[in-house]
């Protein structure tokens, strides 16, 4: 896969579809490599007439890992001590803008999930000329009063992971099933294969905690979100235990004219059964931007 120099780091990326078509940039969540954007999903978007780009965020996958930076202590982070944070979501948004520069793309439709949604929101607020449309999935505003995880879920997320491959796959499979969609349980074999492939490709628990520090140290984005002009759709699962529904509701309320889509039975994952709905919403939002129509409202 190709690599691009952007914002002082190297970013591993992959593209799908015709480069002459409108670009869609997919931004993945905390500790998840670009493999989290399933190739089948990417090809479905490409088949709808888009040039699709997925990539590894900094400190994950095959992009630059900040190995010389401090490793945050998760308990200190939960106690609001962010002194170990090396970067924040603004820096990660600058990474995505730099990737667009490297690909000679002036502006793109931007889709982010979870932490990726936070990065996408920040990009749209900080670099509004780079974002044609915004889709924020299972994300939040950073405000402490909304979108907070259930306590047992957060503790499971920050628990130390086994060093060995089998132990890692077992633990992560259990965690993803806890945060996943009750109405759409994952295919066990596919889930384990994805986690195993990610482990084989790059395994760096320290990068996970640096990304977590970036999220927690970035604070409340609500006021910044009010400045977003790009047509926006906010998608959230009603059964999300990691970023509860109030996070998505607050995001949609903060962004002028944003459309809120609440999906029953969806947790904190991207179940294949819902891919057609996700893609329809992304494409509808992108088409609204293309014709210069008004934001959807609601």
- Distances, alpha carbon 80 to alpha carbons 45, 60, 84, 85, 219, in Å: 39, 24, 11, 11, 10
Q: What angle do CA 200, 201, 207 make, to 5 degrees?
A: 105
CA distances from 34 to 1, 42, 166, 194 (A): 12, 11, 21, 11
**Residues 154, 158, 160, CA angle at the centre, nearest 5°?**
145
The Cα–Cα gap between 181 and 111 comes to: 20
Q: Residue 293 pLDDT more than 70?
A: no
Residue 226: how many CB atoms within 10 A of its CB? 12
pLDDT score of 292: 65
Cα gap 4→186, rounded to integer Å: 33
Residue 237 has pLDDT above 70, yes or no: yes
The predicted-structure confidence for 156-197, as pLDDT tens digits, reads as follows 888 888 999 999 999 999 999 999 999 999 999 999 999 999
pLDDT of residue 297: 45
What is the number of other CB atoms lying within 10 angstroms of the CB of residue 201?
15
Note the pLDDT of residue 295: 47
pLDDT one-digit tens code per residue, 2-58: 999 999 999 999 999 999 999 999 999 999 999 999 999 999 999 999 999 999 999
pLDDT at 73 over 60: yes
* Closest to 112 (Cα-Cα) out of 128, 92, 84, 127: 92
The domain locations on the chain are 3-290
Residue 157's pLDDT is 85
Beta-bridge partner residues of 260:
234
Give the CATH number of domain 3-290.
Answer: 3.40.50.1820
């Amino acid at each position: 896969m190709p690599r691009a120099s952007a914002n002082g780091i190297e970013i591993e990326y992959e593209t799908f579809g015709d480069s002459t078509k409108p670009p869609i940039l997919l931004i993945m969540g905390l500790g998840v490599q670009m493999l989290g954007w399933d190739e089948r999903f990417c090809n479905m978007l490409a088949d709808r007439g888009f040039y699709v780009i997925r990539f590894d965020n900094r400190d994950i996958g095959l992009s630059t890992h900040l190995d010389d930076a401090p490793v945050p202590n998760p308990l200190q982070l939960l106690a609001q001590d962010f002194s170990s944070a090396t970067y924040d979501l603004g820096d990660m948004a600058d990474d995505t803008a730099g990737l667009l520069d490297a690909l000679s793309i002036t502006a793109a439709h931007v889709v982010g999930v979870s932490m990726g949604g936070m990065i996408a929101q920040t990009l749209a607020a900080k670099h509004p000329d780079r974002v044609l449309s915004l889709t924020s999935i299972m994300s939040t505003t950073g405000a402490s009063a909304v979108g907070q995880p259930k306590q047992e879920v957060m503790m499971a997320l920050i628990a130390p992971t086994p060093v060995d491959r089998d132990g890692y796959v077992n633990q992560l499979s259990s965690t993803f099933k806890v945060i996943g969609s009750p109405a759409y349980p994952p295919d066990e074999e596919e889930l384990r294969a994805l986690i195993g492939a990610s482990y084989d490709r790059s395994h760096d628990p320290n990068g996970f905690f640096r990304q977590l520090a970036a999220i927690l140290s970035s604070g409340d984005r609500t006021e910044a979100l009010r400045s977003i002009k790009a047509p926006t759709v906010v998608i959230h699962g009603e059964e999300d235990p990691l970023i509860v529904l109030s996070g998505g509701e607050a995001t949609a309320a903060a962004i002028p004219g944003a459309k809120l889509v609440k999906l029953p039975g969806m947790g904190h994952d991207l179940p294949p059964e819902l891919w057609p709905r996700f893609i329809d919403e992304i494409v509808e939002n992108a088409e609204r931007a293309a014709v210069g129509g008004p934001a959807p409202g609601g």
